[in-house]
Amino acid sequence: MSMEFYNNTIDFVIPLHRYHYMLRTVIESIQLFYSPRTIYIITPTENIDMIHKNKSQWKLNSNIVAIPEETFFRNIYRLHYTDIFNRYMKSEGSREFGWWYQQLIKLGAVQQIPGLSDPYIVWDSDVIPIKKWEVYPTIENPTFRFAILQEKSKSELITQQYRDSLLKLTGLPICDPEIGTFVPHHYVFHHRVLHHLFEFIEKSNPDQNWIFSIIDLSTRFIRFSEYRTVSSFMKEFYSELLHYHPFSDFGKDGIRIRESELFLQEMDTFLFDNHIDYINGISYTDFIKFVTWKYKERELSYLQIEHI
């Protein structure tokens, strides 16, 4: 079965904490390589008008649906953003609430978005593929799979926090691929895996739902990883579904830009000097022009630009 069989049948989910002009770049790259049926963008209400205003100028074949994050968990759980925020406890070194909330969105999409494809693909809003890696099944590899992009965590403390928070939540040991980590910044989520995971968490924490069980980890831990949690759960119960491209295939040729200010300034100058208008967002074509100029003959697999 060819990958094209899955074009226009698989949905992508993108949590977006704030609107930025490279959202168009990300959306068009996904459109070019994977042709999703629908791309769901879960974002603060204040961003939705901007997305609707600009998307008519983007190169799209997929349906784009923007969903307000504040009421995302109203269905089933009757929870508002503030209900979950009020249980969050920020400690020194912890990421902000929005970072935790986006992880809940990625997992909870299976329940909160009616008719969502099975599986669905979550894609972080700062990851831009330059070289295509197959996500859909092909004749050669008849499974859905993601790519290992990250070689290691930022520090051993963070790794330990991922390990300890997972153990507290599920009692399961953390797992990693042969090289790299199961924090690939995109992921293939199967419905039955997530439903089982929620039941598993709630059985271990019978007095509350899985959402509160995860956000309550913030009272003891400064990190939690949805990707590593699902990977460890799949290795234990659904190993036949846990498939991925090794780090050597695409991760080693990618660049993760943690301090993005200089990069963005340089790109802005390039676009201005080349008379490229990006009032409706930076097109993927124009972004590739900049990347080709900046990195010359270097063949990149992806760029991840944090804090855009």
Provide the pLDDT for residue 5. Answer: 80
258's tokens: 């943690």
Say if residue 36 is preceded by a cis peptide, omega within 30 of 0: no
Number of Cβ within 10 Å of residue 40's Cβ equals 23
Spatial separation of the C-alpha atoms in residues 60 and 197, rounded to whole Å? 34
Torsion region of 78: left, alpha or beta (phi above 0 gives left; psi -120 to 50 gives alpha)? left
Spatial separation of the C-alpha atoms in residues 158 and 171, rounded to whole Å? 18
CATH number at residue 49: 3.90.550
Provide the pLDDT for residue 207. Answer: 86
Which range of residues forms the domain containing residue 95?
3-305
Provide the pLDDT for residue 109. Answer: 98
- Total of domains in the chain: 1
Q: Tell me the backbone φ, ψ of residue 71, rounded to 5 degrees.
A: -110, 20
Contact 211, 181 (CB under 8 A): no
Q: What is the pTM of this model?
A: 0.95
Torsion region of 206: left, alpha or beta (phi above 0 gives left; psi -120 to 50 gives alpha)? alpha
From residue 105, alpha-carbon distances to 138, 248, 277, 280 in Å are 29, 30, 33, 26
Provide the pLDDT for residue 307. Answer: 80
Spatial separation of the C-alpha atoms in residues 46 and 80, rounded to whole Å? 16
93's tokens: 């070194």
Q: Would you call 53 helix, strand, or coil by DSSP? A: helix
Provide the pLDDT for residue 3. Answer: 58
For the chain, 308 residues long, give each residue's pLDDT as a single digit of tens.
445 688 889 999 999 999 999 999 999 999 999 999 999 999 999 999 999 999 998 988 889 999 999 999 999 999 999 999 999 998 777 889 999 999 999 999 999 999 999 999 999 999 999 999 999 999 889 999 999 999 887 788 889 999 999 999 999 999 999 999 999 999 999 999 999 999 999 998 888 999 999 999 999 999 999 999 999 999 999 999 999 999 999 999 999 998 899 999 999 999 999 999 999 999 999 999 999 999 998 999 999 998 88
Provide the pLDDT for residue 19. Answer: 94
